[in-house]
Structure 1
Amino acid sequence: MKFTSIIVSLLAIPAALASALPRNLVSRDTIVDNKTYKITNGKATGIVVDLSAGDNTSIIGYPDHDGDNQKWIFAQSKGAWTIKSAAMDLYIAPNTTTPGNYSALQAIDTPFLWDIWHDEVNSNTYRFFVNNTALNWDLAGYGNPTPGNTVQLFQKYTPGWTWQTWTVTSA
C-alpha cells in the first residue's frame, strides 16, 4: 500500500513541475485582440475547432467548411485570452469546474481564461492552456481526424505530440 502511494506521488511530480515552472515568453504578435480566427489542429491538418451544430455545446474537431461555428474571436482579459464563437455568444471552456486529463471542451455563456503560447518545437503553432496550468487542448485519440472527435484537455507533452498544437489563421 505504501509503495502504491509513493508511485502515485512520483507520477504527479511532472504535472506539478510543469504548472509551476515558467514557460518561455514568446511574442504573441500574430494573435490580435478582438480579431476572428480559425483554429486548425497541428497533426490532423484540415480539422478545425468547431462548435457542434448538433448541440451548440460540444467543441469538436471537424473538417473545415468555413462556417461561423468554426470561427473564434480572441479577446485579451486579465493577462490571458478568452475565445468566443463567431456564431453564438458562447466561450470555449472545460466541461467541469475541476479540469484534468480527458476533460472535454464545451461552449458556455461566460468567458473562460486561456493561456496561449507558441509551441517550443514548432513556433508556427500554438498551445492553449487552462490559465496557469499544464493542461492544454488535445485532439482526442492522438489527433484522430474523424469528424466530430472531441477536443479535450490533457497534460502538455513534447516533443512530437502535434495533436496538442494548433495553427491560428485569420478567418
Structure 2
Amino acid sequence: MIRIENQHTYSLKNSYGSTAVDLSGGDNYSIIGYHPHDGSNQAWIFQQDGDQNGWFIKSLRSGKYLGVEGCPNDGSAVVVVSNPFKWDVKDSDLENAKGIRILVHGTNFSLDLDYGNSANHTKVQIWGSWPGANQIWGLVERQ
C-alpha cells in the first residue's frame, strides 16, 4: 500500500502518459497533463480531512484545491477551486500500473488523463473508473 503523509507535498505522474498533473500557467485554473518539472504548479499538498475519510489536494502555487468544474460526470474538467474539495485515494487496482487511483469522494469517478495522451496541455478530467492506466497516478514526494 502506498503511504501518503498528511500535509506533505507530492507531484502526480500519470502511469500511462507519463505527464504530471499541472496547474496551467495560461489561466491558473485548468488542470492539464504536462511534462514533469520541478515547478510549484506541479506540487500538490495532500491534506487529510478531519474525519480521516478523504483528502483535500491543494496547489502549492495557488493555494487553491484540486476540484471539478460543475457536477461530476464523464469528461468534467478538473480545475482549481477556492473551497476544499474531497477526494478518495486508493492503491492502484491494475497489475500493470503502480500508483494510486484518485476518485471524487463517494463516487466512482477517477482523475483521468484524456486518452492517456502524453502531449503537453492534455486535459485532465474525471471519468468513470475503468481498468485504464490513464487513471493511475504515481506519487513523487517533493522537498
> Normalised by the size of structure 1, how large is the TM-score?
0.78
Q: Which amino acid aligns with 2:140?
A: T
The alignment partner of 1:74 has SS state of strand
The runs of at least 4 consecutive aligned structure 1 residues that moved more than 3 Å come to none
Structure 1: gaps of 5 or more residues: 1-26
Distance in 1 (alpha carbons) for counterparts of 2:63 and 2:140: 21
Distance in 1 (alpha carbons) for counterparts of 2:10 and 2:89: 14
Which digits, 9 at most, give the CA deviation of each residue in 1:18-39, with x for residues without a partner?
xxxxxxxxx45x2100000000
Q: Does 1:52 align with 2:24?
A: yes
Partner of 2:127: 154
The alignment partner of 1:163 has SS state of helix
| Alignment partner of 1:168 out of 135, 139, 142 | 139
Q: Which has the higher strand share?
A: 2
Shift of 1:57: 0.2
Which digits, 9 at most, give the CA deviation of each residue in 1:107-144, with x for residues without a partner?
0111100000011224731110000110001101x101
Partner of 2:42: 70
Structure 2: gaps of 5 or more residues: none
Partner of 1:99: 72
Length, aligned pairs only: 139
| Alignment partner of 2:33 out of 52, 61, 70 | 61
**If you compute each CA radius of gyration, which structure gives the higher value, 1 or 2?**
1
Shift of 1:89: 1.1
Shift of 1:165: 0.5
Q: Contact (CA 8 Å) 2:15, 2:98: kept in 1 or not? A: no
The alignment partner of 2:134 has SS state of helix
Distance in 2 (alpha carbons) for counterparts of 1:76 and 1:55: 27
Percent sequence identity over aligned pairs: 35
Distance in 2 (alpha carbons) for counterparts of 1:86 and 1:120: 28
Partner of 1:5: none
Distance in 1 (alpha carbons) for counterparts of 2:103 and 2:37: 26
Q: Which has the higher helix share?
A: 1
Partner of 1:144: 117
Q: Contact (CA 8 Å) 2:94, 2:133: kept in 1 or not? A: no
Q: Does 1:87 align with 2:61?
A: yes
